[in-house]
């Protein structure tokens, strides 16, 4: 099975712009989660989607949003970019078994640099 794929892999934006990142989960996985990884804050949970609905959300401002499509692919959007948004954005997908989420499998990430 192909793993989690994320596009683009690298992105450079300037302050004030917006950006959209894409994630394709492992086939059959319907839960998709997003994380931000920075040297200072480590890995932080952004949000999780299942069946096109956001089920869980971390402590990030409203500039960070996401959505999930009927084929389980997910996008996350960051509006009005700030320098501090420079980070590696990771997507993870997982199966749901008996209503519970199984192990999350991570993609390679999108490295965003905000200038």
Partner 1 sequence: AQSVSQHNHHVILSEAASLELGCNYSYGGTVNLFWYVQYPGQHLQLLLKYFSGDPLVKGIKGFEAEFIKSKFSFNLRKPSVQWSDTAEYFCAVTPYSSASKIIFGSGTRLSIRP
In the complex, the residues that contact partner 1 under the rule CB under 8 A are 31, 33, 35, 42-45, 48, 50, 55-56, 58, 90, 92, 94, 100-101, 103-109
Please state, in angstroms and rounded to a whole number, the distance separating the CA atoms of residues 114 and 110.
Answer: 13
Least distance in angstroms from the C-beta of 12 to partner 1: 19
Least distance in angstroms from the C-beta of 47 to partner 1: 9
SS3 content of the chain, % helix, strand, coil (to 5): 5, 55, 40
Closer by beta carbon to partner 1, 36 or else 85? 36
Q: What's the distance, CA 85 to chain centroid?
A: 13
Closer by beta carbon to partner 1, 36 or else 114? 36
Least distance in angstroms from the C-beta of 52 to partner 1: 14
How many DSSP H helices and E strands does the chain contain? 0, 13
Closer by beta carbon to partner 1, 65 or else 105? 105
Q: Alpha carbon of 44 to those of 14, 28, 60, 87: distances in Å? A: 23, 25, 9, 11
Closer by beta carbon to partner 1, 81 or else 90? 90
Least distance in angstroms from the C-beta of 106 to partner 1: 4
* 65 DSSP β-pair partners: 77
């Amino acid at each position: 099975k192909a793993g989690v794929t994320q596009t683009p892999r690298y992105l450079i934006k300037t302050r004030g712009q917006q950006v959209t990142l894409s994630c394709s989960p492992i086939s059959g996985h319907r839960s998709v989660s997003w994380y931000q990884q920075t040297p200072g804050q480590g890995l932080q949970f952004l949000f999780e989607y299942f069946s096109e609905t956001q089920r869980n959300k971390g402590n990030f401002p409203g500039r960070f949003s996401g959505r999930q499509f009927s084929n389980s692919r997910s996008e996350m959007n960051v509006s009005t970019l700030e320098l501090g948004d420079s980070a590696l954005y990771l997507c993870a997908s997982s199966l749901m078994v008996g209503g519970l989420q199984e192990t999350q499998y991570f993609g390679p990430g999108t490295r965003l640099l905000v200038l």
